[in-house]
Amino acid sequence: MEAAHAHNGHGHGAHGHHYSGLMRWITTTNHKDIGTLYLFFALTMFFVGGLLALMLRAELFEPGLQFWRPEFFNQLTTMHGLIMVFGAIMPAFVGFANWQVPMMIGAPDMAFARMNNWSFWLLPVGAILLVASFFVPGGATAAGWTIYAPLSTQMGPGMDLAIFALHIMGASSIMGSINIITTILNMRAPGMALMKMPLFVWTWLITAYLLIAVMPVLAGAVTMVLTDRHFGTNFFNAAGGGDPVLFQHVFWFFGHPEVYIMILPGFGIVSQIVPTFARKPLFGYSSMVYATASIAILSFIVWAHHMFTVGMPAVAQLFFMYATMLIAVPTGVKVFNWIATMWKGSLTFETPMLFACGFIFVFSMGGFTGLVLAITPVDIQLQDTYYVVAHFHYVLVAGSLFALFGGTYYWLPKWIGRMYDETLGKWHFWLSMIFFNITFFPMHFTGLAGLPRRVPDYNMQFADFNMISTIGAFGFGLAQLIFVYVLVKAIRGAGEKVSDKVWEGADGLEWTLPSPPPYHTFETPPLVK
Amino acid sequence: MISKGLRSFAVAAAWFAAAPALANQYNLQEPQSIIAREIYDLHTLIMWIIVGIFVVVFGAMTYAIVMHRKSAGHKAEQFHENTTVEIVWTIIPFFILIGMAWPATRTIISMKDTSGAEVTIKATGYQWKWGYDYLQEGISFYSNLSTPREQIEGKVPKGENYLIEVDNPVVVPAGKKVRIITTANDVIHSWWVPALGIKQDSIPGFVRDTWFKADKPGIYRGQCAELCGKDHGFMPIVVEVVTPERYASWVSEQKKKMAAAAPDSGEQWTLDELKARGEKIYAGNCVACHQPTGMGVPGAFPALSGSKIVTGPKDGQIKVVLNGVVKDGKPTAMVSFKHLSDVDIAAVITYTRNNWANKTGETVAPADVKAARK
Ligand SMILES: [Cu+2]
């Protein structure tokens, strides 16, 4: 929609597109349109996944079974995870890449514009398969988002739909990544050396390589489950000579880099926001780049820290423990650099900066619990408990999601040419922050005290903390409606018009463009000094 | 709902006030074995290190947020790198990590040392119960959740050990090294007793082992820790640690019981006797899938009420229960129950054939089962 305003306003229709209305969105090859599509898609899936989360939190409000049968409860946890990871977080970051990468490196569009369209339009297909799987006999897959075999071999047809959805969404990610890498490597404006690229672009370049490396691994894992289910193979069936643990190795070889796929672009966004509102250049730019690359490389040799309880030999446990602990070093460097960027700056706290600071704070908390979990003996105690649930929601919700919110508030005025409602944005931040912690902080305690995850019911000893978590979850869910309201209000043109630069401390090519940017930008490449 | 919410906040506040007394509400359970204690201490050590880092890092961030704001009139400086600082804060974490890795390494190595065990117990995960075999003593039994359904459905008040109580606990002697061998029958489960500091996945077709030595007698509770299907939350583990003397008498008692329960197909059973016994066997072995109503779960577990196999010739169902159902060369969730005694199988089949909508009026005798085994 915002791009439509831009388009009309600047009369670039002639070389843009020939359709209007719905067909325009279906056939578009414009990076801004496609970025918008990705972001709306991700927002929709965020609410679908959020609804599932609230349904399962409702069941956990008090001990006993109130709302759902255990099998349906397991479907809820599984689909909440799959939808949030593959439908919300990942597409949202690709949406940012689409909008921002060309504008930040001075390119006119993405390298493969038609493939870009195709990578987006695969996503709704995958999403429909996932959501539809609730309605087939036996319901959606209930094997957890990790779909461990042989439990996943037992599932009904919902599992097959999920497998196809993963194939399709994986293909979309791979195409998106090829596009992003090609764009970044080939289409930078003259003078934009690699080591001059904005950090967001750097983090996406590295993320895209990770995606290309691991999405095929996931595809392989789920295909093996599929053939075990239907075509008589025995990859994971011990009775036929297979090995159930093999699935976990393959899955986590994908799964661990995947968690960095979901956080590195978030690091990138935060690294754009913090300098802007500190009115000071990013501290340690090159160490940020090296830290990102080290995290990406290390992410390939830590996968079995998700599997400390399968019974690996001691040397393997030691290796994976040491490798995992090493990741703390580059991650620490990032946090120190952000704080050094704020140090002696001239700080203001508009909504994007609030989310960035919130990100640094809660992400670090998740990092700390990650360090606790890296210690093998402690992990053996905490693996598959609510402590782990707390840990990954601290890095994923408060980490990735807060970075996404921050990025939206940061660039939205550029995209639509109007300011969002700052007061409501701040409300959105504070309510999200508070309710997030009410929801997830108690889970550290229940996990330590011995509550396993993925159970629909629990002993009374955990009742109070679970009740608090459920209240927090509903509060968090409601707070997100403010976000939608702020977006709708801003997009409908309620806010003030903004300048090209939008933020006093902003720096970078995108801020040299008009707000909103015309439909086609940088048709003649800018010169970067 | 609101009053409940308020109550829970009040409770939370009270907790913080009564912190030391209720420490186990928000820390690891009180350790009851050497390994559990080492884990506990490791966790405490790391928490203190983290608290230290937290104070330094967020102290700096808070200072900047308060002192270096524009509204406080602070002007931005333009520095953006400092090699010394960057090297320092890369190196220091290394040393902190080594300080954490050292004790952890020692614990890992002792966790892995399962040699010299005095009692060896095989724990087998089933959907959804545990089976135990004492390998030297030759004792075998199943351990099912003993919380009544009415408590789960909220029809009666919940007991203190709601969902963490079983009919037959694992009994072990205090102060003796116990080796637990895990495996599974269907999908992956995980045998976890927090207070003893062990969690070991049980993997179908593979065996893994772990060990503990409980400090003192007591009852320690845990749960299956790996998602294993619908009743994953309903297959607890209870370990009863007793003195070595009591353990010895428990063992001989169990051996007697086992001898008494040995197959005895000669005896004649009436329909009602078999039905009564079958109801118990059904509740312990079949109800999770085929449901108390006998209606199963559509799409996953077939109804037994009205089933052609159940109401058809006896042999059909005997075969299903004895051998399980194999489809396209793959075992289904309906696994073999041949580990049950002839009497038990006869009883549960008789029960299913004469309950719900099924009214065959026929018994299946233990002898029929015995014959089918060959
Ligand atoms: Cu289990």
Closest-CA residue to A288 (of A304, A310, A272): A272
Give the model's confidence band at A154: pLDDT under 50 very low, under 70 low, under 90 confident, else very high. Answer: confident
Closest-CA residue to B207 (of B306, B133, B144): B133
Mean pLDDT value across residues B213-240? 93
pLDDT of residue A49: 95
Phi, psi torsion values for B341, nearest 5 degrees: -75, 165
pLDDT of residue B296: 85
Alpha carbon distance B188, A31 (integer Å) = 45
Q: What is the mean pLDDT of chain A?
A: 91
What separation in Å is there between the alpha carbon of B234 and the centre of ligand 1?
A: 8
Give the model's confidence band at B183: pLDDT under 50 very low, under 70 low, under 90 confident, else very high. Answer: very high
Our measurement of the distance from residue B5's CA atom to the centroid of its chain's CA atoms, rounded to an integer in Å, reads: 31
Q: Given B50, B158, B190, which is nearest A368 (Cβ)?
A: B50
> Would the pLDDT of A202 be above 90?
yes
Give the model's confidence band at B291: pLDDT under 50 very low, under 70 low, under 90 confident, else very high. Answer: confident
Place of tokens 């085929």: B290
Which residue would you say has higher pLDDT here, B267 or A182?
A: A182
Amino acid at residue number A295: I
Closest-CA residue to A502 (of A487, A512, A494): A512
Alpha carbon distance A160, A483 (integer Å) = 35
Amino acid at residue number A161: L
In this structure, of A166-180, A271-285, B65-79, the range with the lowest mean pLDDT score is B65-79
Q: What are the pLDDT digits (tens) for A341-373?
A: 999 999 999 999 999 999 999 999 999 999 999
> Would the pLDDT of B329 be above 90?
no
Mean pLDDT value across residues B293-308? 86
Tokens standing for residue B297: 């779960």
pLDDT of residue B20: 43
> Would the pLDDT of B355 be above 80?
yes
**Pairwise CB contact (< 8 Å): B50 & A372:** yes
Q: Determine contact: B291 vs chain A, CB below 8 A.
A: no
Closest-CA residue to B192 (of A444, A50, A447, A96): A447
Could you give the angle at which helices B366-373 and B314-323 cross, rounded to 10 degrees? Answer: 60
Q: List, in order of start, the domains of chain B with CATH numbers.
A: 13-71+82-112 (1.10.287.90), 119-261 (2.60.40.420), 271-373 (1.10.760.10)
Give the model's confidence band at A410: pLDDT under 50 very low, under 70 low, under 90 confident, else very high. Answer: very high
Q: What is the mean pLDDT of chain B?
A: 86
**Pairwise CB contact (< 8 Å): A344 & B81:** no
Cβ-contact A338, B58 below 8 angstroms: no
**Pairwise CB contact (< 8 Å): B161 & A348:** no
Closest-CA residue to B201 (of A389, A78, A379): A379
ipTM of this predicted structure: 0.88
What separation in Å is there between the alpha carbon of A70 and the centre of ligand 1?
A: 13
Cβ-contact A266, A403 below 8 angstroms: yes
pLDDT of residue B323: 86
Q: What are the pLDDT digits (tens) for A264-315?
A: 999 999 999 999 999 999 999 999 999 999 999 999 999 999 999 999 999 9
Q: What is the DSSP letter of B28?
A: P
Q: Determine contact: B85 vs chain A, CB below 8 A.
A: yes
Tokens standing for residue A307: 């599997």
Closest-CA residue to A505 (of A341, A337, A284, A336): A341
Question: Taking CB atoms and an 8 Å cutoff, what residues of chain A touch B53?
Answer: 368
Closest-CA residue to A382 (of A395, A372, A393): A372
In this structure, of A26-30, A170-174, A488-492, B22-26, the range with the lowest mean pLDDT score is B22-26
Cβ-contact A53, A87 below 8 angstroms: no
Q: Which residue of A has its CA nearest to B333?
A: A154
Cβ-contact A105, A192 below 8 angstroms: yes
Mean pLDDT value across residues A307-332? 93
B43: Cβ contacts below 8 Å, ≥ 6 apart: A372, A375, A378, A381, B28
Q: Which residue of A has its CA nearest to B26?
A: A445
Which residue would you say has higher pLDDT here, A404 or B83?
A: A404
**Pairwise CB contact (< 8 Å): B46 & A467:** no
